[in-house]
Amino acid sequence: AREKRWADEITPAILVGDPLHLELKSGRKFLAIYTPNANAVAGVILVHGLGTHPDCKLMNPLRSLLAEQGYATLSVQMPVLAAGVSSDLYPPLFPEAAERLQTAIAFLRGQGHGKVAIVSHSQGSRMTNFFLNTIARPQVDAWVAVGIPGLFTAPESFKAPVLDLFGERDTPVVLDNAAKRSDALRRVRGSAQIEVGGADHFFSDQETELVTQVRQFLDQKLR
């Protein structure tokens, strides 16, 4: 019901991109916003954070600006719980989140994109981490994890380069584990970690810098 309310609210206001509904094997449908680029280098799946939607403040500049800069973007609705529910209660939703990511990848491949990357934020990065840990052939060519809380789980399972991107004023659970994440990524070829000076967890007023860092990494790994 919460997803439907968001879809009803945001769909009429979408000016860039095309809203569509992707379907799971169960028949359940979920909102996604596809912003094509006729000369796209790759398709990029965007995964929002805790309890938000695919056109929230952080996702909107990413999906629109990356599409202007050579990528087709697909911002997807992740499963959500009721407002105010702790992130600790979300792991039971991770299997459905993984299926949604598989469905999104299949959609982009079906549009002719030979390469696919994921850019995720906060809780969405935890969902993406679960997906990469559990799917035998995720068909992901690069992953940008923005503000991932805590540590990477089972990084030895990652089959593509990872950018760990966060702000200087990020949340404690992001900052306190940065050194351990950096150490883990040394074993994932082509990976990197970047701290953006002055940025908070949502890159408030630094959305352009966020997009720049994401695009530079994707350019390096996908072009």
pLDDT tens profile 106-141: 999 999 999 999 999 999 999 999 999 999 899 999
Running along the chain, 223 residues long, what does each successive block of 10 average in pLDDT? 88 92 95 96 97 92 96 96 86 95 97 97 97 94 98 96 98 98 97 98 97 98 94
Q: How far apart are CA 180 and CA 192, in angstroms?
A: 13
Question: What pLDDT does residue 86 have?
Answer: 86
Question: What pLDDT does residue 215 have?
Answer: 98
Put the strands of the sheet holding 18-23 in their side by side order. Answer: 18-23, 29-35, 71-76, 42-47, 116-121, 142-146, 162-169, 192-200
3-state secondary structure of 76: strand
Sign of CA dihedral 184, 187, 189, 194: positive
With contact defined as beta carbons under 8 Å apart, do 61 and 53 qualify?
no
Question: What pLDDT does residue 83 have?
Answer: 83
